[in-house]
């Protein structure tokens, strides 16, 4: 299409790429929220304690943490087109194989392999956007992708509960494996590792992207020394450790909290959990949009990312204790929803930071950050069972609030003025 001024209108292939990435995130969280929503039913059938439940959830989470860097490396080394299709097929297969488990050890083994596959989803997806999305669109893009993941978390609880009540806890694991296999085929067919390789991109869109991101060939050699030697990367990781503790503990334990501490039945648990994760989805979109708006108005990238993320961490740190202290279950869930909205204001900004400072190595930088966050989530998920058994759910929730406040302090120290490779040069 050509405008009246004679200029060609850019195509929107980059936005279709973004939409496909959003679907990747959605399916990822459909599958991982499936686990937490089914946990009370699995625990009842297999007859294990709350401490053992912590280790069952840990088996998935620690694999998810351990394989973040290998996942990011796959995306940087072989390109997102091949790497993402491969990991989606892997985790979809083990989602289905969960239906064959018969004991705690077999469940933990399959969940570990399940987590291995899902570990690559976010780092590779971030790498897939690094060559397509303009800097002025990154906050929105990362907020939208994570909103997609929280939409998956919103849809899953009531759907999983309905399937469990009708067919048992194994049915949703088999059904939820199907969308992943379909997505892998669509991704491999449509996506290309650069705009220059995609036949649907016209010269106007290609020029827009290349003028903002450059046209140089991306190195396949990952500068791990530069990444691990950066103070900014370590600050980013410490901040995301705090985020991982808060968000991932909610994902894994919140349905169990609603049934055990708030005494909700399975049906109401599903709806209340969906309501809270829906608030998280709104936080993802809001955080990204606000950050990009502030960046456009001020031109100050560090201020734009910090102001939104720090506000979100503080909001979570305040709302979690209030949610614990109120006696009415609905009011409690309302404040937990506000806490999740706050914590998710931070996530689009966190992943935008990996693009801002990671540049052509955003997949590896995001993998290091995500690994650290998931280690935090894995540790606290395992500890949660012991904390609950020894001191109750309230103490465990107060611990999440403390991590949120620490996350605010750490994010306020991150400098985004220059990408790592430019600063080194």
Assign 218 a pLDDT band (cuts: 50, 70, 90).
Answer: low
What mean pLDDT is reported for the chain? 86
User: CATH no. for residue 332?
Assistant: 1.20.1250.20
Number of domains in the chain: 1
Task: For residue 250, tell me if it sits in a domain.
Answer: yes
Give me the pLDDT at residue 282, please: 87
Reported confidence tier of residue 234, pLDDT bands at 50, 70, 90 = very high
Report pLDDT digits (tens) over 328-362: 888 988 999 999 999 999 988 888 888 788 877 77
270 compared with 18, residue with greater pLDDT: 18
- Which tokens is 420 given? 């790592």
Q: Is the pLDDT of residue 124 over 70?
A: yes
| Alpha-carbon span 142 to 126, nearest angstrom | 8
Q: Report if residue 206 sits inside a domain.
A: no
Question: What pLDDT is attached to residue 424?
Answer: 53
Range of the domain at 413: 13-195+225-424
CB-side neighbour CA atoms (13 Å) of 204:
10
pLDDT at 253 over 80: yes
Spatial CA neighbour of 18 closest among 130, 114, 98, 113: 130
> Is residue 201 a part of any domain in this protein?
no
Identify whether 373 is part of a domain.
Answer: yes
For the entire predicted model, the pTM comes to: 0.73
Instruction: Determine, yes or no, domain membership for 213.
Output: no
Give the pLDDT score at 309: 94
Q: For the segment 43-76, what is each residue's pLDDT rounded down to a tens digit? A: 888 888 888 888 888 898 889 888 988 887 888 7
Give the pLDDT score at 104.
Answer: 92
pLDDT score of 18 more than 90: yes
Could you give the dihedral angle defined by the CA atoms of residues 242, 243, 244 and 247, in that order, rounded to the nearest 10 degrees? 130
For residue 109, being part of any structural domain is answered with: yes
Q: What is the pLDDT of residue 39?
A: 84
Q: List the single range of 72-81, 263-272, 302-311, 368-377 with lowest mean pLDDT.
A: 263-272
- pLDDT score recorded for residue 310: 96
In a domain, 200, yes or no: no
> Looking at residues 104-131, what average pLDDT do you find?
89
In a domain, 173, yes or no: yes
């Amino acid at each position: 299409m050509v405008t009246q001024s004679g200029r060609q209108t850019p195509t929107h292939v980059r936005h279709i790429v973004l939409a496909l990435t959003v679907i990747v995130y959605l399916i990822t969280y459909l599958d991982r929220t499936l686990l937490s929503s089914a946990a009370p039913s699995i625990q009842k059938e297999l007859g294990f304690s709350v401490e053992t439940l912590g280790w069952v959830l840990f088996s998935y989470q620690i694999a998810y943490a351990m394989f973040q860097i290998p996942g990011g490396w796959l995306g940087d080394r072989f390109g997102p087109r091949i790497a993402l299709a491969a990991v989606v097929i892997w985790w979809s297969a083990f989602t289905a194989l969960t239906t064959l488990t018969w004991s705690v050890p077999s469940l933990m083994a399959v969940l570990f392999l399940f987590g291995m596959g899902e570990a690559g989803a976010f780092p590779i997806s971030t790498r897939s956007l690094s060559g397509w999305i303009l800097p002025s669109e990154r906050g929105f893009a990362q907020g939208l992708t994570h909103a997609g993941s929280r939409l998956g978390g919103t849809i899953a609880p009531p759907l999983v509960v309905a399937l469990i009540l009708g067919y048992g806890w194994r049915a949703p694991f088999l059904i939820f494996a199907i969308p992943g296999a379909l997505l892998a085929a669509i991704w491999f067919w449509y996506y290309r590792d650069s705009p220059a390789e995609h036949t649907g991109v016209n010269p106007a869109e290609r020029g827009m992207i290349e003028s903002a991101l450059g046209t140089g060939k991306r190195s396949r050699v990952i500068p791990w020394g530069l990444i691990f030697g950066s103070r900014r990367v370590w600050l980013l990781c410490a901040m995301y450790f705090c985020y991982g503790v808060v968000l991932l503990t909610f994902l894994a334990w919140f349905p169990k909290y609603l049934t055990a501490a708030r005494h909700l039945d399975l049906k109401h648990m599903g709806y209340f959990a969906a309501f809270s994760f829906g608030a998280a989805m709104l936080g993802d979109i809001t955080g990204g949009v606000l950050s990009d708006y502030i960046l456009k108005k001020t031109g100050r990238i560090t201020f734009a990312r910090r102001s939104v993320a720090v506000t979100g961490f503080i909001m979570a740190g305040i709302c979690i204790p209030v949610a614990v202290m109120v006696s009415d279950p609905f009011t409690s869930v309302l404040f937990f929803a506000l806490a999740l909205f706050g914590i998710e204001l931070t996530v689009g900004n966190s992943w935008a930071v990996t693009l801002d400072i990671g540049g052509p190595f955003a997949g590896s930088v995001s993998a290091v950050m995500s690994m650290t966050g998931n280690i935090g989530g894995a540790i606290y998920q395992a500890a949660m069972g012991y904390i609950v058994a020894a001191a109750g759910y309230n103490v465990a929730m107060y611990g999440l609030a403390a991590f949120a406040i620490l996350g605010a302090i750490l994010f306020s120290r991150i400098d985004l003025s220059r990408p790592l490779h430019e600063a080194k040069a």
